[in-house]
Structure 1
Amino acid sequence: MGISVTNISKSYKNAKALQDISFEVKPNELFGIIGPDGAGKTTLFRILTTLLFPDQGTATVAGFDVVKDYKKIRNSVGYMPGKFSLYHDLTVEENLNFFATIFGTTIEENYNLIKDIYIQIEPFKDRRAGKLSGGMKQKLALSCALIHKPKVLFLDEPTTGVDPVSRKEFWEMLKRLQQKGITILVSTPYMDEAALCDRVALIQDGKILQIDTPEAIVKHYPTSLYNVRSTNMYQLITSLKTYEHHHSVYPFGEFVHYTDTRSDFNPEDLKVYLESKTLSDIQIERTEATIEDSFMELST
C-alpha cells in the first residue's frame, strides 16, 4: 500500500505552503521529503494524514482518498508529528496502552512489531513521558505510532533535536520496520539523512525541486565542485562572492564550496585572485558533490 499525490496545493491566507505537488511512494518504500524549515513538509504530512484539506489536487494513502476516506486512513496509518505530542503526565506504559485502546488492540497483540524499539524503553515503563530524554521520547512516540500495525508510517522530522547516536539508532529501526512490510514517509531538514532513503523528494518553498534516488541526484550534479579554504574564512567568502566568474559560494564545514561559471575553470586563476585580496594559506581542491550541494544548486 503506497501513497499517490497529484497536484496538491495549499495556502494560508497569502502564503503558499504547497504549490502543485505531485509524487508517488511505492509500497514498502522508505521515501524521504528533504527540505529546510518552512519548505512545506509539515503541511504536506497533515494533508496526507487527513488533518488538513488541500485547496486543490488529490491524494491517496493505502488506496484511500484523503478527503473521502479520512476515517479509513486514520485506522491504516501511523503518524509521528515533529513535536512530541504524547501525554507528559502518563507513564511510558500508560501512553502505549492508551493508544492501543484507541485503535481497539493491545500491546501484546502487536508486540512483535514494536519489540525492537520498546525493549529499549521498557526499563523506564513507569516513568512519566515528560521526564524522558529526547531519544527515549522518540522511541516511545514511534512505538505508539506502530501499536495498531499501520500499513503506512508518517514521520515528520523525527530526529530534530536528537543526539547523533539516537539519530543513527532511529534510522536503523526504520530499516527494520521497512523489512516488515511497512511503507514509510519521513521528512527531515538533515541532508545527510537523505542518503538513508530509497528515494527522496527535495522540496523548497512549497515546490518539489527533484525526485530520485540519492545516488542519482548526486550523480547528476551539473558542474565541478571545489573545496576552498583560507586562514580568514569570512574574508574568503566575501572575496569569492565578488569574483566575476563565481556561480555559487557557501560554507560547508571547514571549507567553502565553490562552483565557477566557466567550463575551462583553472583553480590557479582563482588562487591568484584570492591572493590579490591579501588572503593566505589558500587551498583549492576538487571534491565530490553531496545531497546538500545538489539541493543548493537546485534552489538557486
Structure 2
Amino acid sequence: MTEATESGAARPAPLAVEIRGLDVTRGGAPALQDVSLSIARGSITGLLGPSGCGKTTLMRCVVGTQIVESGTVTVLGRPAGSTPLRSRVGYVTQEPSVYLDISIRDNVRYFASLYGRGNDAVAETIEAVGLSTHAHHAAGDLSGGQLSRVSLACALVGRPEVLVLDEPTVGLDPVLRAELWEHFASLAASGTTLLVSSHVMDEADHCESLLLLRKGRLLAHVPPDELRRRTGKSNLEEAFLVLIRDQQVGVQP
C-alpha cells in the first residue's frame, strides 16, 4: 500500500505492525519460525491457517503478551506491549472476556471508562455489534455467539488504532457475520488497522491482504486476488492447499 506525497510521487504508507525474524517456542517446540511481515495502517489483514499453525501465538506477539525467542515486533512505532500502546491496541480473544454477573451495558461501560469514553460511545458500540435489544441482560444469560459480540464491543469501545481479533465470527449466523465484516470495513476506512484470524476461507475476500501460516511458518503475505493468480485457483481454500503442496515439495510460493 502506498500514499501520494505533495509532489505526486508514491511513498509507502505508514506501518501499523512490523515484524522481523520472529521466533517463538512454546512447550519446548517451535511455534513461530523466522516470521517477517509488515502491515499498513488502516488495512484489514486476514490471518489464515489450520489449527495449531501459530495464528494465536502471532496475535499474542502483536499485542505484547507472548514471550519471544528472538526477533522484533513493532506496533505503531513502538515495541509491542509497551505501556504507551495499552490504550491504542485492542485484542479480542477466542474465549469471551467479560464479567458474567453484570449486564452487557455495564460490561461495555466499564471498559469505556478505562479509555475515557462516554455513554454515547457505549450505546454506539453496543448497537454496532447488534446487541441493543439485549443491553440490560446479564452476560451470563447470553449464548456463546452473543458473548463473543460483547467481548468485541468491550474492545471496540476504546476505539483502538490497532484491533486484533482472534476468530471473532465463530458461532455467528451468516447475517451477523456479514454485518460484522461491514463494520470492520468501516473501521478500516476510518483509519483503524485490523488483524483478523479466521478458519473460514470465504471470509478472506473481506481482507486487503492475507497472512497464510502453516506449522509456524509464513507461506505467503498476499492480497486474495494475487493468491488466486499465483496458484491458478479461483477458490481460496484450494489456492491455500496449492501453497501447502508447493512447500512440501520445496517450491517457494
Question: TM-score scaled by structure 1?
Answer: 0.72
For 1:137 and 1:180, locate their aligned partners in 2 and report how far apart those are by CA, in whole Å.
26
Q: Secondary structure at the match of 1:166?
A: helix
Equivalent pairs counted in the alignment come to 231
Is 1:27 aligned to residue 41 of structure 2?
A: yes
Distance 1:121 1:112, change over 3 A: closer
TM-superposed deviation, 1:113? 6.2
- Unpaired runs of 5+ residues, structure 1, are 223-287
| Partner AA of 1:59 in structure 2 | V
Partner of 2:226: 216
Q: Secondary structure at the match of 1:90?
A: coil
Is 1:80 aligned to residue 89 of structure 2?
A: no
Partner of 1:139: 149
Could you tell me whether the CA contact under 8 Å between 2:105 and 2:122 is conserved in 1?
Answer: no
| Partner AA of 1:117 in structure 2 | A
**Cα RMSD between the aligned structures?**
1.8
Partner of 1:289: 234
Q: Secondary structure at the match of 1:78?
A: strand
1:116-135 pair list within 5 angstroms: 116-117=127-128, 120-135=130-145
Q: 1:199 aligns with which of 190, 201, 209?
A: 209
Partner of 1:158: 168
TM-superposed deviation, 1:124? 1.2
Q: Secondary structure at the match of 1:75?
A: coil
TM-superposed deviation, 1:111? 5.0
For 1:52 and 1:106, locate their aligned partners in 2 and report how far apart those are by CA, in whole Å.
32
Could you tell me whether the CA contact under 8 Å between 2:96 and 2:151 is conserved in 1?
Answer: yes
TM-superposed deviation, 1:112? 8.2
Partner of 2:17: 3
Partner of 1:39: 53
| Partner AA of 1:179 in structure 2 | A
Q: 1:114 aligns with which of 104, 125, 135?
A: 125
| Partner AA of 1:114 in structure 2 | T
Could you tell me whether the CA contact under 8 Å between 1:80 and 1:155 is conserved in 2?
Answer: yes
For 2:37 and 2:70, locate their aligned partners in 1 and report how far apart those are by CA, in whole Å.
15
Partner of 1:183: 193
For 1:139 and 1:290, locate their aligned partners in 2 and report how far apart those are by CA, in whole Å.
29
For 2:136 and 2:123, locate their aligned partners in 1 and report how far apart those are by CA, in whole Å.
21
Partner of 1:95: 107
For 2:198 and 2:237, locate their aligned partners in 1 and report how far apart those are by CA, in whole Å.
12
TM-superposed deviation, 1:12? 1.3
Q: Secondary structure at the match of 2:151?
A: helix
TM-superposed deviation, 1:149? 1.7
TM-superposed deviation, 1:41? 0.6
Q: 1:152-197: CA deviations, max 9, x gaps?
A: 1110111122222222221111112112211111111111111110
TM-superposed deviation, 1:29? 0.6
Q: Secondary structure at the match of 2:231?
A: coil
- Unpaired runs of 5+ residues, structure 2, are 1-14, 246-253
- The percentage of counterpart residues that share the same residue type is 33
Q: Secondary structure at the match of 1:2?
A: strand
Partner of 1:285: none
Question: TM-score scaled by structure 2?
Answer: 0.85
Could you tell me whether the CA contact under 8 Å between 2:47 and 2:198 is conserved in 1?
Answer: yes
For 2:37 and 2:213, locate their aligned partners in 1 and report how far apart those are by CA, in whole Å.
12
